[in-house]
Structure 1
């Protein structure tokens, strides 16, 4: 789903009062560069109740990412993965149960990333692919944008441990009924935003998705 496609889905009457034209980047300095980079910005922007203000903020500059919920609609089965996440050490365990995901490389389309990551992280080939939404996971401190999809797979081929060793990946594949995935969600075992959004969307839209894909 490109930005143009996303825009075409919006109402002609945009609900927000302000836009990018109401923001001025006064300065932008690189603070740190590693796997990601941190920048320090001084920004002047419009306000609702008073004249424009100038603020200083740190921004983590991250590539956009694709997340895809893998399902087998023939048997209402989901494919989830489990891997270590450095940012989840406040959780009972930093091994999170997630959807397949990956960063968008330069000149790469989101749909290409979904198919590549399904093969790398779960050993599965996606058939049909449907866009769910785009969203910003933490816009108070990072500019990362998530492209969220649901993808059709053959669950009978799912299992094992996958990932690219040279990227430090060690990914366990779970093949489970959708009902169990929703139980895990309700119990708090699935606690990352993309997977929560995808599972809730699937719970609301499974019947219409199966009709669309010819599994009614």
Structure 2
């Protein structure tokens, strides 16, 4: 990269506090151009897992996502709590959301899914040979059904334009790189 100079934050205003925070930054660019930039602080990173059972089926969430008004195929996962590592988060979330656990775990590359509006980082993991341990214990604000899909069935769902969380597509891509 030839030009790595970044804009200077002249002022930052806190605009909203809730499940996420909204900030408005006043930027001055190296060229002298000035503008405002609205960004979200999601208050934590997230961690997700693409998990497979011993027989090779993927453990997938069919989850209602209110902003879309739809049920989406997705990966188990959630916010990384302050006292947890991303791996601890996904192990807990896989068990809570699906009842599955165990197996062999591998960290995949992490990504920034929406860098234009937030600095949130998502940590990806692959769990192989996960086993059913107990009934799922989802939060009251979650509507989740666990479905088991072969690779072919999952790809067919995507080709058939079944609503899919982009995080699942990224997980499948990263898994293919193994």
TM norm structure 1: 0.73
CA deviation vs aligned residue, 1:158-184 (integer Å, no higher than 9, x gap): 89764122xx12210001212101111
Q: CA RMSD in A?
A: 2.2
1:133 aligns to 2:109 (yes or no): yes
Matching residue of 2:48: 67
Secondary structure of 1:102 counterpart: strand
Please state which structure has a larger fraction of its residues in helix.
1
Name the stretch that deviates more: 30-39 or 121-130. 121-130
C-alpha distance in 1, partners of 2:135/2:71? 16
C-alpha distance in 2, partners of 1:134/1:17? 25
Change (3 A) 1:154 1:180: same
1:36 aligns to 2:20 (yes or no): yes
CA deviation vs aligned residue, 1:54-104 (integer Å, no higher than 9, x gap): 2201111102111111112x4221000011112224xxxx11110001001
Matching residue of 2:154: 181
Structure 2: gaps of 5 or more residues: none
Please state which structure has a larger fraction of its residues in strand.
2
Structure 1: gaps of 5 or more residues: 1-14, 210-216
Change (3 A) 1:158 1:83: farther
How many equivalent pairs are there? 177
Matching residue of 1:105: 81
Q: Tell me how far 1:114 sits from its aligned partner.
A: 0.9
8 Å Cα contact 2:51-2:126 kept in structure 1: yes
8 Å Cα contact 2:14-2:22 kept in structure 1: yes
TM norm structure 2: 0.87
Name the stretch that deviates more: 180-189 or 58-67. 180-189
C-alpha distance in 2, partners of 1:158/1:109? 22
8 Å Cα contact 2:55-2:129 kept in structure 1: no
For residue 57 of structure 2, the aligned residue among 52, 72, 77 is 77
1:18 aligns to 2:18 (yes or no): no
Secondary structure of 1:154 counterpart: strand
For residue 35 of structure 2, the aligned residue among 34, 44, 55 is 55
Secondary structure of 2:83 counterpart: coil
C-alpha distance in 1, partners of 2:33/2:165? 34
